[in-house]
Amino acid sequence: MISEKEKCRQGKLYDANNDAELIAERQACKALCHEYNHLLPSETKRREDIIVSLFGKSGHNFLIEQPFFCDYGYNIEIGENFYANVNCVILDEAKVKFGDNVFIAPGCGFYTAGHPFDVEQRNRGLEYARPISIGNNVWIGAHVCVLPGVMIGDNCVIGAGSVVNKDIPAGTLAVGNPCRVIRKF
């Protein structure tokens, strides 16, 4: 029998609410996030150590301001010179990959998890997960929401308050709800 975690990895509907393995992994992640969020800002070494242990991959130069929240941690990859301002949320049921020189303004969310339109499936607690990929040299404005399955290309700027529900090509400025390209660089 295929596990719920494997169904998730395969992009199938899965049950994260009643699977002991997934619940335990989320609890362990939340404990590390709690510890991270309650460290003094001056405790930079411990803060870095938590992120390195929590994430699947990290560059050497990064700063993630507190508070920060994620679901599993191990599905997150960050490149070099990564910066996330306060109140960043990454629901990393699937892989979330950030390139080099990515800057994230306050209050942004990256959500790989989604729920089916079918009421019965949704009421049973089923969900799906789609990866998110953010290229190199990307600036994401305040309160941006990036939805499941989105790819943002290299050298992009995403305007504040945008809801990114489809791929954004490299070298563009995109804004709005829904987010759309308004200019190429």
**Which residues are part of the catalytic machinery?**
115
Phi, psi (degrees; rounded to nearest 5) at 131: -65, 155
**Quick one: which of 42, 40, 47, 43 has its CA closest to 62?**
47
Residues 6+ positions from 160 with CB-CB distance below 8 Å: 105, 141, 142, 143, 144, 175
Q: Which SS3 state, helix, strand or coil, does residue 137 take?
A: coil
N-term to C-term CA, the chain:
50
